[in-house]
Amino acid sequence: MRILFLSHYFPPEVNAPASRTYEHCRHWVAEGHKVTVVTCQPNHPRGEVYAGYRNKLFQRETVDGIEVIRLWTWISANEGFIKRTLGYISYMLMSIFCCFNYGRHDVLISTSPQFFNGWAGYFVSRIKGIPWVLEIRDLWPESIIAVGAIKNKKIIAILERIENFCYRKAEHIVVVTQAFKAHILARGIDSHKIDVVYNGVDPSFFDPEKHNAKEGMSPDDGLPAALGEQLQGKFVAAYIGTHGMAHGLNALLDAALLLKHEENIHILMVGDGAERSKLMTRCEMLGLTNLTLCGQVPRASMPAIWALSHVSLVLLKKSDLFKTVIPSKIFEAMAMRKPIILGVEGEVKTIVEKSGSGICIEPESAEQIAAAITALYRSKDNCAAMGERGGDYVLKNFDRNVLAQSFLNILLATKDKSLRDKSAANAKLKMPPRDVS
């Protein structure tokens, strides 16, 4: 089968959508299918094209057997609603304009967010005459409304109409949580048209036996030597991921302030995003010597970061919308057998409680973050036991290879149904007219 995938994000970008797309596509290639990913030049989240790339009109490369087509887009930092929207729209228009250069394919996937990338799938699928599978990894426009990025009611109404249009027109919809499925069902979409394929983890990449056994770090880890020295002998609670409007990370700085008397506890923040510069400024103002903002590191270095850490912090703002999400970092933490301090409500809380892999706290509560870190620091055995339970649970339920195969089966079924529908339509056209005399 020939699969065409529209994704705004792709490695070497290190965010969750880039990883999910890459790992699924790599599995499909290994199963003997041809996969083409249409994306832009890597630039997330700073809005700066990565070294070795240029914002060219059109270029091809091959990554682990995946054909990658990179298009020119309007590039800006991950901040400012208008600038970001221009970038999203430019990708949508370019992916449509260039679609005759992609070759022949049997099925198309477009993934949302961002919102306009999902919508691009409709136009490309109609131009190329192939079935369209819409992947929903986050609910737009609901998620941007929840963080206050957009407040104009007329714009919101327009975006919601486009959202409903996409749900109706897609041949099939793949979502990442049961809550997302419930949301779409409430819009009147047939349940047979929706499948859940959770996020997961590649156990061969996030392998604690390869990384946790290391003492210190080697040059191969790709991490600053000073980081290992700074964290040596410390109990490290790590937040790894986007530093954005949705994450409520000021509470983590407040927690560090509460923990400043604990000399052996250190908070590590790894990643980048729209709020990082503000967080750095506030960290300096508070004089926090027990907190390090490391910045973004390459994907290849992530297991080494986890190996340096003792606890994973998974945080979002308190919002009813965020009860529907499952941050993918929980699966990486589980695979590396690190206990989780979870400041998110909803479906993800159920996973952590069911697996026994961590402590659930109130979102945006600095006091509860500090208390949970202290409790795990003072009970190393409990900390280790949570990590082990999480590791066993994630391997059983969220192996990325198994999930990628489930997604592939959906694509095969969608392709077959499209062929049957076309065959039936052609047969109907060829039927002789009925004699009504």
Higher pLDDT, 216 or 376: 376
- Predicted local distance difference test score (pLDDT) of residue 150: 65
Q: Where are the domains of the chain?
A: 2-200+399-429, 208-397
Q: CB of 294 within 8 A of CB of 340? A: no
Q: For residue range 144-178, what is the model confidence (pLDDT) as tens digits?
A: 666 566 677 787 788 888 888 999 999 999 999 99
Q: CB of 91 within 8 A of CB of 116? A: yes
In the chain, % of residues over pLDDT 90: 71
- Predicted local distance difference test score (pLDDT) of residue 221: 55
The mean pLDDT of 34-49, rounded to a whole number, is: 93
CA distance 33 to 415: 13
Q: Judge whether residue 18 has pLDDT over 70.
A: yes
pLDDT band (50, 70, 90) for residue 246: confident
Q: CB of 194 within 8 A of CB of 275? A: no
pLDDT band (50, 70, 90) for residue 326: very high
Nearest to 316 by CA among 246, 252, 243: 246
Q: CB of 121 within 8 A of CB of 135? A: no
Q: For residue range 103-118, what is the model confidence (pLDDT) as tens digits?
A: 999 999 999 877 788 8
Q: Judge whether residue 66 has pLDDT over 90.
A: yes
The mean pLDDT of 409-414, rounded to a whole number, is: 98
- Predicted local distance difference test score (pLDDT) of residue 145: 66
- Predicted local distance difference test score (pLDDT) of residue 82: 75
Q: Judge whether residue 220 has pLDDT over 50.
A: no
Q: What is the mean pLDDT of the chain?
A: 90
Fold matches, 2-200+399-429 and 208-397: yes
pLDDT band (50, 70, 90) for residue 287: very high
The mean pLDDT of 400-405, rounded to a whole number, is: 97
Give just the sign of the alpha carbon dihedral 306, 308, 312, 316.
negative
Q: CB of 322 within 8 A of CB of 345? A: yes
CA distance 233 to 264: 7
In the chain, % of residues over pLDDT 70: 92
The contacts of residue 159 (CB under 8 Å, 6+ apart) are 115, 140, 141, 150
Q: Judge whether residue 435 has pLDDT over 60.
A: no
CA distance 91 to 288: 40
Domain 208-397 is of which CATH architecture?
3-Layer(aba) Sandwich (3.40)
The mean pLDDT of 170-198, rounded to a whole number, is: 95
The mean pLDDT of 36-42, rounded to a whole number, is: 97
The mean pLDDT of 208-231, rounded to a whole number, is: 64
CA distance 358 to 236: 15
CA 209 from centre of chain = 25
- Predicted local distance difference test score (pLDDT) of residue 141: 67
CA distance 224 to 227: 5
- Predicted local distance difference test score (pLDDT) of residue 47: 86
pLDDT band (50, 70, 90) for residue 356: very high
Least confident of 72-76, 266-270, 355-359, 407-411: 72-76
Domain 2-200+399-429 class, CATH top level: alpha beta
